[in-house]
Amino acid sequence: MSGANLEGVNLRHARLHKAKLNGAKLDAYLENADLSGADLRGALLRTADLRGADLHDADLRGADLHGADLHGADLRGANLTGTDLTDTYIQGAIGLKK
C-alpha cells in the first residue's frame, strides 16, 4: 500500500502491523489502530486521528504529522527522525521524550 491515498478513510481498530505505507496519504481515522512496526516513511498524516494507536517500532522518518492527534498513542521505539510534529497533540503519548 505504499503511496496509497487513504484520506478520510475509517481505519479505527485496523490491524496494520508491519504494513508498508511509506509515502501514503493517511489523513484518516486511525484511532486505536495497530501500526506497530509499520513503514510510514514520508507518509502524510496531517490532522490524522491517532488517539490510542499502537505505533511502537514504527518507522516515521520524514512523516508529516502536522496537527495530528496522538493522545495516548504508543510511540516506544518509533523512529521519528525528521518527522514534522508541528501543532501535534501529544499529551498522554507513550514513549516521547520531552
Model pLDDT for residues 37-69, shown as the tens digit of each residue? 999 999 999 999 999 999 999 999 999 999 999
- 91: domain range? 1-98
Task: Provide the number of structural domains found in the chain.
Answer: 1
d(CA 68, CA 86): 9
Helix, strand, coil shares, percent, the chain, to 5: 0, 20, 80
- The reported pLDDT for the residue numbered 39 is 98
Scanning the structure block, which residue is given the C-alpha cell 501500526? 35
- The reported pLDDT for the residue numbered 4 is 83
pTM of the entire predicted model: 0.92
Percent of the chain with pLDDT over 70: 97
For 11-22, how does the pLDDT look when each residue is reduced to its tens digit (9 = 90+)? Answer: 999 999 999 999
d(CA 93, CA 86): 15
CATH number reported for the structural domain that contains residue 62 in this entry = 2.160.20.80
